[in-house]
Amino acid sequence: MAKFTHKQQYEDLTLLSIGRTTDFVEGIFGPPQVIKPSTSNPEVVFQYYHTGKALLTIFNHNQRVAGFVVIPLVRDFYPSIHYINRTLGQQTVAELIPAQQDFYSDTNNLLYYAEANTLGKEYLFIQLAVGFVEYGMNELVWQGARVPATDVIKSLQRINQHYLSENTDALMLELEKFRSSTPPNFFALTELDGRLVADSLLTRVEFQSYFGNVHD
């Protein structure tokens, strides 16, 4: 049945929330296939689960869920983004996070882009992060048209080139264009520093080593 519908996988993801115990998560998804310590916070361990439809990363902070990342791995998998009632992959970065703050991006060991912003007092200042990562596989759609991953990759390469060359004006223009026309292919939520989201992303080599043989 899992080949024909994503209903169960969507329902499983809705059970995730900040503050759950890691035992609760393992009751849904089983034991993690990969465990990796954070390089930026020694109290956090990242737990990785290939669910068949997505790569799920749990931020384990003293056996408590302090954050999680959802990266779809099949083309038609569009989970809801917790707390804001939006669907991943069908609205742009700017629509999901109107006020840009810091962003994190690289094109070396992994091509990715991420930015985070707080959801405010109502949600206890939990941070929502969205972005693009090269092994995310859901098909991106904006204004009824498909957004080719190759276009996103070229834009990210330009962003990183402008950043490294300290060409601020060109960087701001490219960022504005990227944010206003690109739907993200992953999202994350955390009560900790938003930089943990970038820290949690498996490198290209790590992803292929751990999950390449099951990547759809």
| pLDDT exceeds cutoff 80 at 51 | yes
The beta strands (E) that lie in 65-178 are given as 65-72, 80-81, 86-87, 103-106, 112-118, 127-133, 140-142, 145-147
pTM value is: 0.93
Specify if 189 maps to a domain: yes
Output the pLDDT for position 142: 83
Work out the average pLDDT over 128-140: 92
Q: How many domains does the chain have?
A: 1
The answer as to whether 1 is a domain residue is no
Q: What is the pLDDT of residue 148?
A: 87
Q: Which residues pair with 141 in a beta bridge?
A: 146
For residue 83, is it left (φ>0), alpha (ψ between -120 and 50) or beta?
A: left
pLDDT score of 1 more than 50 = no
Across the range 32-51, mean pLDDT stands at 97
Domain that holds residue 54: 7-211
Is residue 7 classed exposed, middle or buried when 0-12, 13-18 and 19+ CB atoms within 10 A define those classes? exposed
Please give the Cα distance from 64 to 199 (Å, whole number). Answer: 18
Residue 215 has pLDDT above 80, yes or no: no
Residue 204 domain flag? yes
Confidence (pLDDT) at 4: 55
Q: Tell me if 28 is assigned to some domain.
A: yes
Is the pLDDT at 91 greater than 80? The verdict is yes
pLDDT over 80 at 64, yes or no: yes
